[in-house]
Amino acid sequence: MRQCTATAEVPLTELLIAILAGQKRVTDSDLAYAPDTVRCELGVWHEDGHAAFVWDWEKHKPREGLWARWTPDGTMRFESLTWCGIPGSPDGDDACTLYLDHAREHSWKVRDPELEAFSRRVFAENAGLIARLTRKRN
């Protein structure tokens, strides 16, 4: 399933308030990782509002992450949500990286259309090199 392509600007002040509410302090170097914009991580045609992961609580809340949730009109809120964590990726190593009770497919079934297009372009531009590197040697 393809990933939803809805994007939104992240209001830095509101994000900072949400981070401070969850972990009580934040440094300038921490804020270097704060996103300016986000793209919905859910599969297309999800029923709920859009959602994107924005902050890792690390030691403070290891079972939760801070998520931006927004509606089609652009109204954004921040919620600390428990990780889904259900195992089952095709390689058996990964758990779902979305939040618990997310809409539709688990993360390993959601394909980023921009990443797919980039991969196709890289393979097309380097087909000769890939063929040489992967051919069987005598």
Q: 86 — phi, psi (to 5°)? A: -70, 125
Note the pLDDT of residue 111. 81
Residue 84's Cβ-count burial label (10 Å; 0-12, 13-18, 19+) is middle
Q: Minimum mean pLDDT among 20-24, 30-34, 112-116, 120-124: which range? A: 112-116
Note the pLDDT of residue 57. 86
Q: Tens of pLDDT along 51-94?
A: 999 998 877 788 899 999 999 888 999 999 999 988 876 666 67
Spatial strand order of the sheet with 50-56 comes to 50-56, 64-70, 76-82
pTM of the predicted model as reported, rounded to 2 decimal places: 0.77
Find out whether 42 and 48 touch, Cβ atoms under 8 Å: yes
